[in-house]
Chain A
């Protein structure tokens, strides 16, 4: 649609600007302020070396460990959820009662408060009272997500797959439904096999929504806090301490405002950078009309 140039449209955007400025810009500036000062007993002292917290941060092994774990976590869940979501979408009934049924049931995990998701899996994985833990224990697999690093990781990854794969599937399904029948008929005339139909018709047509799915899943998995915190509390040791968990520990637990603020800014910038790349790709796809 051709848009008219109209600078007065700023007035329509003004309420959003004011609100978001109040709830985003002021807090963010507070963080910037902390990151270059020292706090002691509620008083602020300027740092001798303005960027001390940042240079400290870059040498902090604890932060690098958390960042590494975070990247690993996001990488693993994207690698599982995107293909699995597409696969589920390809198998969903296209219309009728069962289609609605699937949509409703699949959306259910998305609407559960995040700490309840954590609680559900915390219970589900317990060897004494949880179905999963109990069954694994009975068939002779030594499973304990509070003691064993590998088990803890498997638990939080399976939990995230359980929680969010439906989102990818719903988006892919919406993308699939928008493909006109003519495309499939053309493929039939060309005698394209199932793989070719997927590779050359369905995948390109889904690209736009899939980019959104990847963007959302990346952003949300990168800031995940509540679910793993409820299940493992960041343990055993620091094995599942992801960035947010570490940050909250630092800011609200130890009240190390300066270092925590530097950490926050770095964290936000990393997310912003990667999301910007996704966003650019996404809008370019949009322009091509996909």
Chain B
């Protein structure tokens, strides 16, 4: 007995000291990296809580006269806060459209092989590679000619260009993990394809759907070039409205910073729920 316990103790101790040492250097590295990430964000937050006089005249690390006026300006002025509403409307529309077309397609790719499936899959990916700058002008003309210019649906459809391929890829990755026997058993039990898909299959890949939705949200939320090109007034996203702080009397830095902080909030809220799946999503379901 003693013969076996002593070496175990030794190895445990050995790995313990090594671990303690490793944790320390790692903690320093991570600390520095997170600091690097947080500093610019802190600075934005800091500015958003200051008055313009303080921003321009005193260089302070903390706001001296803490003020929420900048946020009040945004949240009481419809021309400001409608930007957030517009952004959210087209982002949600895009999420719904992308997911509803991507779900059956991803199922087809994950379960069946058919003529041209591999080429089709790569072709979908090429749309993720298309520079939005290439599409800005044709989109502008296409949506103007069908009378969709400056509507939420136009932006939502335009964002499908890169979100649909992404959603198909992510969902396909998650669906591959579900054993095919489940499909077969369900059919034997008398489920129709639709019934099986909605009642049995979708709950099984619920986390995958969540992740795909998150990524559609994310890429639609951060994109500006297309959403700005396709809107003028009625559907103008918040990111485009921000540029108007450059008024005649110079830039209203405080309000600009507050608007910036408010655009970060929705992302920060949803990130918590998908934190363990983010990498899988970015890896197009391939981790």
Residues on A close to B: CB < 8 A? 1, 3-10, 12-13, 15-17, 19-20, 22-24, 26-28, 30-31, 87-88, 91-93, 100, 102-116, 119-121, 123-124, 128-132, 134, 162, 166-167, 170-171, 173-175, 178, 208-209, 212-213, 216, 219, 222-223, 225-226, 243-244, 247-248, 251-252, 257, 260, 264, 267-268, 271-272, 275-276, 279, 286
Q: Please state if A12 and B104 are interface contacts (CB–CB under 8 Å).
A: yes
B139 to chain A, nearest CB (A): 6
Q: Please state if A244 and B133 are interface contacts (CB–CB under 8 Å).
A: yes
Question: How far apart are the CA atoms of A15 and B168 in the complex, in Å?
Answer: 12
Binds A, one of B28-36, B63-71, B72-80, B205-213: B28-36
B209 to chain A, nearest CB (A): 16
Given A16-B164, A173-B279: A105 and B128 within 8 A (CB)?
no
B contact residues around A173 at 8 Å (CB): 279
Looking across the interface, which residue of chain A has its beta carbon closest to that of B11?
A188
In this complex, how many residues of chain B approach chain A with their Cβ under 8 Å: the count is 98
Question: How far apart are the CA atoms of A203 and B136 in the complex, in Å?
Answer: 39
Q: Pick the residue among A5, A104, A272 that contacts B129 (CB under 8 A).
A: A272
User: Contacts A123-B47, A252-B229 given; 7 further ones with Cβ under 8 A?
Assistant: A9-B111, A30-B141, A108-B271, A170-B278, A267-B134, A275-B125, A275-B129
Q: Please state if B133 and A225 are interface contacts (CB–CB under 8 Å).
A: yes
Q: Please state if A13 and B108 are interface contacts (CB–CB under 8 Å).
A: yes
Q: Which of A113, A173, A212, A268 has its CB near the most chain B CB atoms (within 10 A)?
A: A113
Residues on B close to A: CB < 8 A? 23, 25-26, 29-30, 33-34, 36-41, 43-44, 47, 55-56, 59, 97, 100-102, 104-105, 107-115, 117, 120, 122, 124-142, 157-158, 160-161, 164-165, 168, 176, 180, 218, 221-225, 229, 238-240, 242-243, 253, 256-257, 260, 263-264, 267-268, 270-272, 275-276, 278-280, 282-284, 286-287
Question: How far apart are the CA atoms of A202 and B272 in the complex, in Å?
Answer: 28
Q: Please state if B225 and A226 are interface contacts (CB–CB under 8 Å).
A: yes
A contact residues around B138 at 8 Å (CB): 26-28, 30-31
Question: How far apart are the CA atoms of A7 and B114 in the complex, in Å?
Answer: 5
Looking across the interface, which residue of chain A has its beta carbon closest to that of B178?
A1
A136 to chain B, nearest CB (A): 13
B contact residues around A226 at 8 Å (CB): 224-225
